[in-house]
Amino acid sequence: MGQGMPEGQNQAVLNPELRSQGSQPQDGEPRSQAQETAAEGLDHPALQRAEELVDHFGERIGHFAHTLSLRFRKATARAREEVQDIWAEAQHIKTRGRS
């Protein structure tokens, strides 16, 4: 029925109540220390600190990207203005040569 999936996992997919029991051993075996640590989630101070560092790093990257974007837009606006000035001067020289 499960096409490579153990029967218990297949039932957990079909029945949401069994999903919450999926982290508990079904045959009464004690949970390993790794399973206990994973079950604690973000209660662990090292994980909280790591999350804070990642958040802070993300904020700094966002600020840097914003600053870089602003500088790029200013440089692009200046370049566009210079090109327009050059074009206007070229048109003026062209029309002056005809008269």
Residues 22 and 46 in one domain: no
**Cβ(7)–Cβ(13) below 8 Å:** no
Which residue range is the domain that position 65 belongs to? 42-98
Q: How many domains does the chain have?
A: 2
Please indicate, yes or no, whether the overall pTM of this predicted structure exceeds 0.85. no
The DSSP letter of residue 82 is H
Residue 85 pLDDT > 80, yes or no?
Answer: yes
pLDDT tens, 17-66? Answer: 555 554 455 556 666 666 665 555 556 889 999 999 999 999 999 999 99
pLDDT tens, 19-28? Answer: 555 445 555 6
Decide if 80 is inside a domain.
Answer: yes
pLDDT tens, 63-77? Answer: 999 999 999 999 999
**Cβ(30)–Cβ(37) below 8 Å:** no
Decide if 36 is inside a domain.
Answer: no
